[in-house]
Chain A
Amino acid sequence: MIRDQGLISKIWRFAIWALATLFVLNLLAVIAAVVVNSFATRWLGTWLPAGWTTKWYFSAWKEFQLSSVVLVTFEIVFTVVIISGILGVTTAYALARRDFVGKRLVVLLFLLPLLIPPLTYGIPLATVLYQLGLGGTFWGVVLINVVPSLPFVVLVMIPFIEQIDPRIEAAARVFGAGTTSLFLRILLPLLLPGMLAALLLVLVRTIAMFELTFLIAGPTTQTLVVSLYYAVFASGVRAGQSIDAMAVVYMVTTLFWLVIALQFVNPTQIVARAKQPAAH
């Protein structure tokens, strides 16, 4: 790599690092503020709270009925992951292996939900789901969340499947493998690393998916992030520390899966489309 030694270059480099450091510090402080406040007895106008306590976690757990909210969140998220995994991998396989009339149109259809803001398609979709009687139900929340997740899986899986040599499948056929054993014994093991990465990313994204879930969730089908929104929205009704305790519960849930996901994917892949599959 080339490194310039001139004075202006040095000043410029220093300015960039200072800026980046400042940003990271602020970012970490925002997260730390939530964590510190959730353990505070009283925190008004000082650097650190007057005292420390864990009581807010107990009160938040009871007040916000977190045991049922966490359970519902996981039920919804895992159902979304399974459905978008099955539909997404089969679709991606066909798109990666075959060229047919209208393929570009199909790919475009799978790109659109990732480019259009969720509320734009979410409001008409939620209207349709409400009219079908799915508003506020478990399946309503699952269906609306599969809409952005399925295209995500498809777009992550297409390049991954394309780099698997089709001759491996042909060879398996030659040696007499049926469709079932071809899938179970040849394709599935090869696809597993890519699927794991794609599905973990869907998992993390669905836990944090606010807008769509918010449109359709009813009192019994709120996910953690929607409950958190309502709690912050009605802040003043409950102690701020209690709300922050809930935010920490949400944070831990998300970070738990993020840490697992980062074992298999690069952080850039969470925002960008996978350029090179993780298993390379």
Chain B
Amino acid sequence: MSGPPLRTRLAARGLDGTTMLILPGLIFMIALFVYPFFYGLVDSLTPKEGGWYANYAKFFGDPFLYDTIGATLWLALPVTIINLAFAVPVAFRVRLMNRQRLLTTILVLPITLGTVFVADGLLTFLGPRGWFNHTLLAIGILDNPIKLTNNYWGVFASLLITGFPFAFLLTLSYISGIDPAIEQAAATLGAGPRQRFSRVFLPLLVPGLAVTFCLAFVQAFAVFPSAVLLGAPAGPTRVISIAAYQAAFEQYDHSLGSAIALIMGGVELVVVLAVLGGRSFFYRGPAGGTKG
């Protein structure tokens, strides 16, 4: 054999002892993420009875099952759009604030406490005798308490409480990444506030907003505990994760459960790809300062 030894040739391609350090983590992920995924895929194609497509045929043939897609989208899409629509203007104001830390700390609370805690709190807060109805009655906006729990609006509120801070904090981190000199330049050249937003900031923000939308949507789409606790899990808030959970762990049909879980991932992927695909029509390039 002529030429350098194998070890040298591999090192030239970036493969040496240090590269091998990825192996433990990689093996773990392959064993517990990639393998179960393919296991679930095969499992979903080998139903308890019927042909290989029986689970999918069952899902799309039974309104009790396929309606969950619509129910989930009907919750997740409006909530995500509202969260983002509020997050952008609020983040634009907060970026000018000197003491952001207190506000961001308060807003990180519902995210860290999680949906179960928020659902428990909202059950009391939004209940017929809770503070929310009590306040509206005291002000005189309402004559009778409105029902806000165990229906669509309860889940909606819980997604708002956890989803808005999430969208806001992500948007804020994107906005702070834009060099303020760009705005000053636009103002110097005579752009008013509306123009500065629509002609300068928005185009720079679109890629970040698309990612924020996707991440916020993924969270809202995966709604599970609050849909059970705060919603009507047999009715309008029977979301797809409830269907998947019930199939796999209540009817012990893990084959159907895996199929629904995969359909859930598929629907979500369609929305995410549509949003990220639309992103490519906008400017993509550096917007930060010298730090990059």
Contacts and interface: CB of A to CB of B under 8 A. Distances in A.
B231 interface: no
Nearest to A3: B96
Interface string B168-196: 01101100010010011001000011000
- Select the residue from A9, A27, A243 with max chain B CB neighbours within 10 A: A27
Contact of B261 (A6, A119, A128, A240): A119
A33 B104 contact: no
Given A16-B89, A233-B228, A275-B173, A123 B114 contact: no
Given A20-B93, A34-B117, A271-B169, A113 B33 contact: yes
29 contacts: A2-B183, A4-B192, A26-B125, A26-B161, A28-B106, A30-B161, A31-B121, A44-B129, A45-B129, A45-B134, A88-B25, A94-B20, A95-B22, A98-B14, A99-B14, A101-B14, A116-B268, A119-B241, A123-B258, A124-B43, A147-B29, A205-B112, A210-B116, A251-B113, A254-B112, A258-B109, A268-B170, A271-B166, A271-B169
Contact of A33 (B108, B125, B268): B125
Interface of A: 1-4, 6, 9, 13, 16-17, 19-20, 23-24, 26-31, 33-34, 37, 44-45, 47, 86-88, 90-91, 93-95, 97-101, 103, 106, 109-110, 112-113, 115-128, 143-144, 146-147, 150-151, 154, 204-205, 208-211, 214-215, 225, 228-229, 232-233, 235, 240, 243-244, 247, 250-251, 254-255, 258, 262, 266-268, 270-272, 275
A125 B37 CA distance: 7
B28 A87 contact: yes
Contact of A109 (B33, B261, B272): B33
A272 B173 contact: yes
A47 B130 CA distance: 8
Interface in B77-107: 86, 89-90, 92-94, 96, 101, 103-107
A232 B101 CA distance: 32
B225 interface: yes
B270 interface: no
A210 B115 contact: yes
Contacts of B94: 20
B200 to A, nearest CB: 12
B8 interface: no
A91 B260 CA distance: 32
Contacts of B13: 100-101
Contact of B105 (A88, A118, A267, A272): A267
B37 A121 contact: yes
Interface residues of B, number: 101
A19 B116 contact: no
Interface stretch (B48-56, B59-67, B216-224): B216-224
Interface of B: 13-16, 18-22, 24-26, 28-30, 32-37, 39-41, 43, 86, 89-90, 92-94, 96, 101, 103-125, 129-132, 134, 161, 164-166, 169-170, 172-173, 177, 180, 183-184, 187, 192-193, 214-215, 218-219, 221-222, 224-225, 228-229, 241, 244-245, 248-249, 254, 257-258, 260-262, 264-265, 268, 272
Given A124-B37, A124-B43, A24 B225 contact: no
Nearest to A88: B25
A209 B94 CA distance: 29
Given A2-B183, A31-B121, A254-B112, A123 B105 contact: no
Contact of B120 (A4, A113, A208, A244): A244
Main SS of chain A's interface residues?
helix
Contacts of B15: 98, 100-101
Contacts of B219: 117
Contacts of A88: 25
A2 B184 contact: yes
Contacts of A94: 18-22
B108 A34 contact: no
B270 to A, nearest CB: 13
A229 B125 contact: no
- Select the residue from A91, A99, A123 with max chain B CB neighbours within 10 A: A123
Contacts of A204: 112
| 7 tightest A-B CB contacts, nearest first | A124-B40, A117-B222, A91-B25, A100-B14, A208-B114, A267-B104, A94-B21
Contacts of B20: 94
Contact of A154 (B16, B18, B25): B25
Contact of B116 (A126, A147, A232, A255): A232
A19 B21 contact: no
Contacts of B110: 27, 30
A244 B106 CA distance: 20
A20 B110 CA distance: 15
Given A3-B96, A124-B37, A33 B131 contact: yes
